Every structure is written in C-alpha cells, then in structure tokens.
Amino acid sequence: MLLDRCLELLAPALDAPGRSNRNAVHVDATLGLGGHAEAVLARHPRLVLVGLDRDPNALRLSGERLSGYADRTHLVHAVYDELPEVLDDLEVDEIDGALFDLGVSSMQLDEAERGFAYAQDAPLDMRMDPTTGITAEEVVNTYEAAELSRILRVYGEERFASRVASAIVRERGRARITSSARLAELVRDSIPAPARRTGGHPAKRTFQALRIEVNGELDALRKALPAVLDRLAIGGRMVVLSYHSLEDRITKQAMAARARSTGPVDLPVELPGSGPKLRLLTRGAELPGSEEVAANPRAASVRLRAAERIDESKRAQVKALHQPVARGGRARPGNPRESEQGEGP
C-alpha cells in the first residue's frame, strides 16, 4: 500500500537519533485529513510534525484527528511554497522528513459545494482555500479563448482544447457560466463522440486544468520542492506522490538536478560544492499495485518518487551508495549515472 511504502522510505531518516540532540522534524506539506501525519506520529514517538494545508476545513478536521499528538504538532494554514517562512517562524533550521501528497483531496472532491467534481452540480469554485483567490467561474467567464485553450491543453492535456474553449466562449456570450453541471455538459458536447467512449468522463481533463489554474498548483510546486530539498538535513528524506504528469515531471527535475555532479566528469575527485546533494531512492517513479487501485481507484494515476540528502563532499561514498532503493530496503543494481540523471517513467 502507498501509505506503507511512504512510511518505509521515510523511516531511516525519522528513526535516526536527533541531530545535535534534537528530535526529528517531519513536514507534511499537504496535510489533508491527517492520515499520513497520524501514521508517522504513531510510528515515531519523539518526532515533531509540521503540517501545512491551504484548506481551513482540512486543518480543522486534521487538528481534531491529531489532537492526541498536540504537544508535538504544529499545524499551519499555508501553501507549501510558504514552507521556508513557516520553518523560520518556528525557528526550525533543518528537517529530517518531508511528504507531498499532491492534487485535490478526497474530502474536497466529495464536498459537492466546492465545485471540484464534474459529476455533481455545484457553483464553479474549485479553490482549495475558499477564503482567497480567483474561482473557476471567473476563469471560465473572463479568460480569452486562446488562454483558456492553453490552460486546457497544458494542464489538462486535453486534445480538443480549442474546441472546448470556443464552446465556453460562445456559451458565456449568451449567459454567464456558473454551474459545474453546465460546464461539464459543454465539454461533453464539444468532444467528438468517438473520443467520449474512452478515458473516463469527457470533462475530467477540463476540470483538472481549471483546478490547477485556480490554485496555482504547478507554480507553487516549482518553488516548494527546491526549497524543501535545501532544508533537508544530511540523511533527511523527501517523498512525493504525484497524480498528474506535469507534477511528476517537476518532481523528477527537482530531484535529478541535485542528484548529479555539476563538476567536470574527468576529474578524480569532486570540486568543492559540485558533488551530488541527493541520492535517488526510487528507480524512476513507482506505480501503485493492482490491489491498491482496486481498493482506491483514485490511486490509479499516482507516481511516487523519493530522495535522500547526502553529504556532497563524500564523493567516494556517493559512487558506492547512489543506487535506487527497492521495495524491502535493498539497493537495486543499476547504472549510477542513469540514476543521477533521474531516468525513468
């Protein structure tokens, strides 16, 4: 199961004796309902948790769930790209573990009034933090056709982005689009009948694209991942669960950039500051098993990547250790240079 795999990957960093006589610090950057956080706190009785979420309702519910651990939790209303400021406010210089479980939460999908779900009629909102920012209704009714098309094509990987955007513009010329059901109907009618028969609901990609735009998810992730990797202590680990190819690509690039040397390849030793800063713990992206998908269909698209902060000055150890970690904890054989490049799905 994905939860068990996350715990397995994080455990070596969180079990290690506190550096400089401090307890391990773990960041849950996407707290949600607190399921991952609860499991980590239960397994590591001295660990301090810093949990972030932009959704005030999620923070309230997770706070209730984690009330038994209140003496070693800090739950903060923030987006994950604000983590450096959050850690500074808490006077935390470095962290030992970090987890990102990206995308929309089950709670947000199941709350019809939030407008995330195309299968239920609701106002077009889609804000993860309903207290701030633009809504999907504003995007749909005010963006130019070319910009709408770009968003649907890039964020939703919608093949018929131009057709959908044109249909939206025509419809809003007659009446403002305010309903998720109406938008889903427009999308369905815009897509050729043969294409509707595969790939799930025709509006799935459009709703995903609008959600990403409304919440600025990819821009926040591009800022957050390098910042978190740079705050990891030596031996600290980060695990990322992505549900969209663009999220996974950003994660892969952020990890790969720090997992390879930046110095000349023909030198026998690394120049100071040029050695790898990360060891990749997965070969490419790990996929969910069939049992996981059967139990939770929303997990079908998940991609898991993980990395460990290493001492960049110890190049000899890097050459020996820089192997992806297989399920069960043993290093897999493979080409170290391939791992450093972040190759894989």
Per-residue pLDDT of 283-321, as tens digits, reads 999 998 888 888 887 788 899 999 999 987 664 444 444
CATH 3.40.50.150: does it fit domain 2-101+217-340?
A: yes
Confirm or deny that 34 is annotated as ligand binding: yes
Q: Is the pLDDT of residue 329 over 60?
A: no
pLDDT of residue 136: 95
pLDDT of residue 241: 96
With beta carbons less than 8 A apart as the criterion, state whether 281 and 141 touch.
no
Confirm or deny that 51 is annotated as ligand binding: no
Confirm or deny that 53 is annotated as ligand binding: yes
pLDDT band at 117 (very low <50, low <70, confident <90, very high): low
Domain ranges within the chain, ordered by starting residue: 2-101+217-340, 107-215
Q: Is the pLDDT of residue 67 over 60?
A: yes
Q: Which two tokens stand for residue 164?
A: 């959908």
Domains 2-101+217-340 and 107-215 share a fold: no
Average pLDDT for the chain: 85
Q: Is the pLDDT of residue 21 over 70?
A: no
What does the alpha-carbon distance between residue 207 and residue 114 come to, in Å, rounded to a whole number?
Answer: 12
Confirm or deny that 108 is annotated as ligand binding: yes
pLDDT of residue 133: 92
With beta carbons less than 8 A apart as the criterion, state whether 93 and 232 touch.
no
- Burial classification of residue 185, based on how many CB atoms lie within 10 Å of its CB (0-12 exposed, 13-18 middle, 19 or more buried): middle
75 CB neighbour count, 10 Å cutoff: 21
Q: Which residue has the higher pLDDT, 175 or 201?
A: 175
pLDDT of residue 345: 45
- Burial classification of residue 10, based on how many CB atoms lie within 10 Å of its CB (0-12 exposed, 13-18 middle, 19 or more buried): buried
CATH number listed for the domain at residues 107-215: 1.10.150.170
Confirm or deny that 101 is annotated as ligand binding: yes
With beta carbons less than 8 A apart as the criterion, state whether 213 and 224 touch.
no
